[in-house]
Amino acid sequence: MIFTMKGFVLLGALLCQSYALAASIRSIYLFKDVMKSNTTAIKTSGFNSLVIFGVGILGNGDIMYYSNTPGSSDVLAASNGTYVGGDALAAKVQSFKTGTTGVDRVEISMNSQHVKDLMANPGPGPSTPLYRNFAALKTAWGLDAVNNDDESLYDVASTVKFAQMLGQIGYKYTIAPYTNSGFWVSLIRQTNAGLADPNLLLDRVYLQCYDGGAGNNPASWANTLGLKVVPLVWVTNDSKPSQGTTVAQATSKFTSWNSAGGLAGGGYWNDYDIEKNGLSYTQYGGVLTSIFK
């Protein structure tokens, strides 16, 4: 293949543009049932990373998708190594990264329930139900990562095993801390031992900067963890109005935090709030695209 100098310049420009987009994380948590969400708005409002909240594992290694939406039912997503969540749900999740979209990464978020027990017995091996179920779900939904929203267990050894199991399947692993930095430091160091960017297994930190984490300083956390962080604010909501953040307030917070350094991007906790309260994905997404290029 023959390239002209003009071709090399164009190729270089495209590569630089691609790197810039990849380097700036613009995320939003999706608490509402994805089957009822405004998919078009989510895909076209500036977000490049979606975190689907409400996935959990059962004591036998099955995986549930909890809808968290009035009128919707919880769904058994994977069981006995097979995806059982239905074609429509799989197509919906896959659609976030296809067609007209800015989304290039989709994660699922879960708590720590049953992780410790399942890592002890039957363990993280490829023949176990949990391993096979996560493999089946990844294929069916086209997933990129699993997000750890542990706020109670804080067991380093079992969490590292779980993260490494997911890495063997092909997932990245991310975390959403708000406190207990010592636990997260240990988890990052052990999970990423022997690995270097861009091949880190635990590659993102979504730092809660609302509610229990309202006083968190992103630059300080980044320094402590040894990884850049993605601070999260909670959009305007009626669950805890005092913790809500308007578009103007989000602009001010992200601008200030970004100037202090240590950020890989920014994002939102969205507890079914944007659609429930008639807010705008475009306006909240526009804050992120204006700051995190």
**Residue 20: pLDDT band by 50, 70, 90 thresholds?**
very low
Average pLDDT over all residues of the chain? 93
Interval 229-240 mean pLDDT: 97
Q: What is the pLDDT confidence band of residue 68, given thresholds at 50, 70 and 90?
A: confident
pLDDT surpasses 50 at 3:
no
Q: Is the pLDDT of residue 284 over 80?
A: yes
Per-residue model confidence (pLDDT) at position 53: 95
User: What single string gives the DSSP state of each residue in the chain?
Assistant: ----HHHHHHHHHHHHHHHHHHHSEEEEEE-S-TTTS-HHHHHTSS--EEEEE-EEE-TTS-EEE---STT---EEEEETTEE-S-HHHHHHHHHTTSSS----EEEEEE--TTHHHHHHTT-S-TTSHHHHHHHHHHHHHT--EEEE--SS---HHHHHHHHHHHHHHT-EEEE--SS-HHHHHHHHHHHTTT--TTS-SEEEEEEE-SGGGTT--HHHHHHHHTS-BEEEEEES-SSSGGGEE-HHHHHHHHHHHHHHS-BSEEEEE-SSHHHHTT--HHHHHHHHHHH--
> Over pLDDT 90: what percentage of the chain?
89
Mean pLDDT throughout 70-79?
95
| pLDDT, tens digit (0-9, with 9 covering 90-100), for 156-187 | 999 999 999 999 999 999 999 999 999 999 99
Any residues with CB less than 8 A from the CB of 199 and at least 6 apart, and which?
Answer: none
* Whole-number pLDDT of residue 72: 94
pLDDT one-digit tens code per residue, 81-109:
999 999 999 999 999 999 999 999 999 99
**pTM of the predicted model, to two decimals?**
0.92
Provide the pLDDT for residue 23: 56
